[in-house]
Amino acid sequence: MLNNKLKYSLLYIEDESFIREMVVEYLSDYFVTIHEATNGKEALEIYTDKKPDIIITDIEMPQMNGLEFSTQIRKQDSSIPIIITTAYTNTEYLLHAIELRLIKYLIKPIEEEKLKEALAICFDQLEYKNPSLFSLTKSHQYDTLNHTLTFNKSEIISLTSSQSKFLDLLIKYKNRTVSYQELENYIWLEKGMSDSALRSLVHDLRKIIDKNIIKNVSKIGYKIQLYE
């Protein structure tokens, strides 16, 4: 929600001066204070001193790249919203970004609408303290922002698009049963949901995570049992 924009401070890291000046000018409409840095090492010093609310950092930078910088930040702060920007669609970078529970991975040149969407998520997370990481079992965690399942905080478990959507929906409505109709509309809207497809999806997820995590409510739908 961008109506809360001027309540927060930003740390923006970009080594190319032209891009940095242009983006800072655009972002000045959304933040009360913007701190600028040209590399990860400088940014760490600013972070320690200023404690910004949100971070936007490029990946490809001298001295310390954006992912190395974000790794250092996550050791100190597990929840500060971080947006990564890059000129390359590098799979290794993307996987690392997911592990770091970043808000968005934006490809340059950055589209204004995608940046606004990422900022809105950041402001919403700060305003309402919405968690994005949920414990499904003692060992399994699911990140609803990056749609990623991890095991023991070190291994990424591959999920299909349907499996991710199923978990997203059940976690979103974790305090109630999600109906069969809601599942069909969200996961199988175009081709329709068959009973066998739904049973197969649930069976596979129970094997991946735990058989007790997903509860069937007879003739209604499914409910998730989060780990506490």
pLDDT in tens, 109-154: 889 999 998 998 888 888 766 667 889 999 999 988 778 899 987 8
The answer to whether 56 and 10 are in contact (CB under 8 A) is: yes
Over range 164-174, report the average pLDDT.
Answer: 93
| Residue 92 scores a pLDDT above 80 | no
- According to the CATH classification, is domain 2-128 in 3.40.50.150? no
* Whole-number pLDDT of residue 43: 96
| Residue 83 scores a pLDDT above 90 | yes
Nearest to 14, CA basis, from 72, 68, 62, 49: 62
Over range 179-192, report the average pLDDT.
Answer: 90
At residue 197, the 3 state secondary structure works out as: helix
Query: Look-up: residue for tokens 């529970």?
Result: 101
* Whole-number pLDDT of residue 226: 93
Over range 99-106, report the average pLDDT.
Answer: 83
Q: Cβ neighbours of residue 182 under 8 Å, at least 6 residues apart?
A: 169, 173, 221
The answer to whether 141 and 184 are in contact (CB under 8 A) is: no
What is the value of pTM for the model shown? Answer: 0.60
CATH architecture of the domain formed by 134-224: Orthogonal Bundle (1.10)
* Whole-number pLDDT of residue 5: 56
pLDDT in tens, 10-68: 999 999 999 999 999 999 989 989 999 999 999 999 999 999 999 999 999 988 999 99
**Using only C-alpha atoms, what is the Rg of the chain?**
20
pLDDT in tens, 195-224: 999 999 999 999 999 999 999 999 999 999
Nearest to 107, CA basis, from 88, 94, 91, 90: 88
In the chain, what are the domain boundaries?
2-128, 134-224
Looking at per-residue pLDDT, the higher value among 11 and 190 belongs to: 11
